[in-house]
Structure 1
Amino acid sequence: MRIIRFQNGAEQRLAAVTDEDEVYALSDSDFISFLERVEKTGATPLEDVNQQIRSAQPLDAALESLELLIPVEAPEVWAAGVTYAHSKEARNYEATAGKMDATTYYDKVYDAERPELFLKSTAARTVGHLDQVCLRNDSNWQVPEPELGLVLSSRGDIVGYIIGNDMSCRDIEGENPLYLPQAKVWKQSCSIGPFIRLAETVEDPYQLQISLRIYRNDEKVVDQSASTGQLKRKLGELVSFLRRDNIVFGGTVLLTGTCIVPPNKFTLAPQDRIEIEITGLGTLVNTAIMS
């Protein structure tokens, strides 16, 4: 079961989408309100949705015809780093100017008990499906990072999964680890969407395929795939560290790290189209523009 938010005339509505692509309007206008209401009833999100659609009729409009909005206006988007071996290798390449045999702090965090977690974005900086993501003007080496995102309740429970694009400046991060916020956080540097897949309907989140495709002038210039099965850390482990002495707002998204890094000589250019697909979660599409 997937959850979408769409524009319905002058109002915004939440809806449930079945595996048969039937769309059922829900009573809530946004996902955070939905979570707050469901938590008070004691039901699970899936139980609540099933109760609402049991005697309802699907919308006449097809899913493809709806104006989709960002599915959750996440008050905060956090991200985990160096959770895949490929990510560790890419970070080492950046930090050592290609000297892959050198040991760096990325090796240490990959093997450490404590994961790398950082605040990636806020609602004002986050965009959705078919929106534009921005390139920094002071970076010459920028890439998208396709990631599985966890949608959390205020209790820190994983209630859904979402596709995330963690835009990154490899040159800025590689120059100095203290520059991480500038390498990761700027306007429209994060996108999420197009759906939220309710966690109860995902049998095994470690068996999802993630694919990245980048098109330049309608020519495919990057086409890579990997699996969440390559994730070193458990999802619950990442959430537990985020919750430590911290406030988790309902609707917070935690990106779990990237297992796909474009070739080292590749950098995004204005008007590049970025497509990120994850099994059962759809395809998140964005176009890059200069900030």
Structure 2
Amino acid sequence: MKLSTIKLNGKEESAFYFDSGYIPLSIINQHFHVQWPLSFESILKEGLYESVLEWYQQHENELKVMEKVGFDQAISAPLFRSPGKIIGIGMNYENNLGKHQDYIEPVSFMKPSTSIVGQGAYIIIPSFSKETTAEAELAIIIKEDCKNVSVAEAPNKIAGYTTSLDMTEAAIHRENPRYLTRAKGFDTFLSIGPTFLSASEINNLEQLEVKTVKNGEEIAKNNVTNMRYSPYFIVSFLSQSLTLKAGDILLTGTPGSVEINDGDEVSCQINNFPVLINKVRVESVSL
């Protein structure tokens, strides 16, 4: 199952994603006489994800032949607006020199929901920024509330995955590592989507290749298999210290960051996912 959030006729709602276009959930409800919530976020938080997935799998062939809303007829919106938590994992890929040896547990941080934007929106660099970077990352979407999950149990707590771009004001972070929350928390400093893929859509998670791309140039890439901490370990590790809630977003780290400036275009490219693309501009300040 693939889901996107779109703006259609002035309203945002989630829609099933197909290569030929979207089927909004409002049309699904009308056509099939069901009453699914119109946002993916609500489906997760109301505990309906498994029911929707099962329904989709039963009706997939019918959905494929239904009339679609064209990609040019709808505006892509952020996959989520207000997840309960957004937790990032840093320094998670092996580099050419081998694994980092200076820490034994994942580096983690949190981002506010006010940092979220979606496909096509501008990443706004603060006017005072000396260096803002962007990082392409695979994002985990939590399916249900969970605590003290084992690595073996973790796959059952994951609804699926999406693409993301995590921004950092690197100069602030360099000034003092304790400034990480501020450095990563600016408005527009997290792009999510445009499309969610259920775990069942991904045949080999470890072979997903994550790429950071700027202005069409590939800056960095790596495979999930080269993560120090796998997605399943990340879910388990974080659940040992806090309750993960349905709809929480976990960022799994980047193969590499790139400095971004006014006029740039940056993207997260992961095989099997539609590309996430955002343009960049510097904040304008009124005098």
TM-score, L = length of structure 1? 0.79
Residue 43 of structure 2 aligns to which amino acid in structure 1? F
Q: Hey, what does 2:79 align to over in structure 1?
A: 71
Q: Hey, what does 1:24 align to over in structure 2?
A: 23
Partner residue of 2:117 out of 127, 137, 143? 127
Q: Hey, what does 2:275 align to over in structure 1?
A: 283
Check whether the contact 2:263–2:279 (CA below 8 A) recurs between aligned residues. Answer: yes
Check whether the contact 1:25–1:59 (CA below 8 A) recurs between aligned residues. Answer: no
Q: Deviation of residue 6 (structure 1)?
A: 1.5
Tell me the C-alpha RMSD between the 2 structures. Answer: 2.6
Q: Deviation of residue 61 (structure 1)?
A: 2.5
Check whether the contact 1:35–1:45 (CA below 8 A) recurs between aligned residues. Answer: no
| Distance of 1:146 and 1:116 partners within structure 2 | 17
Q: Deviation of residue 186 (structure 1)?
A: 1.2
Bigger shift: 2-11 or 267-276? 2-11
Bigger shift: 248-257 or 1-10? 1-10
| Distance of 2:166 and 2:97 partners within structure 1 | 16
Q: Deviation of residue 211 (structure 1)?
A: 2.1
Unpaired runs of 5+ residues, structure 2, are 26-35, 147-156
Following superposition of structure 1 onto structure 2, how do residues 120-269 of structure 1 map, counting pairs within 5 Å?
120-122=111-113, 124-156=114-146, 157-215=157-215, 220=216, 223-262=219-258, 267-269=259-261
Q: Hey, what does 1:9 align to over in structure 2?
A: 9
Check whether the contact 2:220–2:255 (CA below 8 A) recurs between aligned residues. Answer: no
Q: Hey, what does 2:55 align to over in structure 1?
A: 48
| Distance of 1:252 and 1:88 partners within structure 2 | 33
**Secondary structure in 2 aligned to 1:65?**
coil
Residue 141 of structure 1 aligns to which amino acid in structure 2? E
- The C-alpha deviation readout for 1:127-182, integer Å capped at 9, x for no partner, is 00001112233432221011000011232411011111110133322332212112
Q: Deviation of residue 249 (structure 1)?
A: 3.0
Give the direction of change, closer, same or farther, for the CA distance of 1:229–1:44 in structure 2 (3 Å limit). Answer: farther
**Secondary structure in 2 aligned to 1:277?**
strand
Q: Hey, what does 1:108 align to over in structure 2?
A: 102
| Distance of 2:45 and 2:213 partners within structure 1 | 36
TM-score, L = length of structure 2? 0.80
| Distance of 2:97 and 2:52 partners within structure 1 | 35
| Distance of 1:35 and 1:277 partners within structure 2 | 25
Unpaired runs of 5+ residues, structure 1, are 90-105
The count of aligned residue pairs is 260
Residue 169 of structure 2 aligns to which amino acid in structure 1? C
**Secondary structure in 2 aligned to 1:172?**
helix
Give the direction of change, closer, same or farther, for the CA distance of 1:261–1:136 in structure 2 (3 Å limit). Answer: same
**Secondary structure in 2 aligned to 1:206?**
helix
| Distance of 2:60 and 2:180 partners within structure 1 | 45
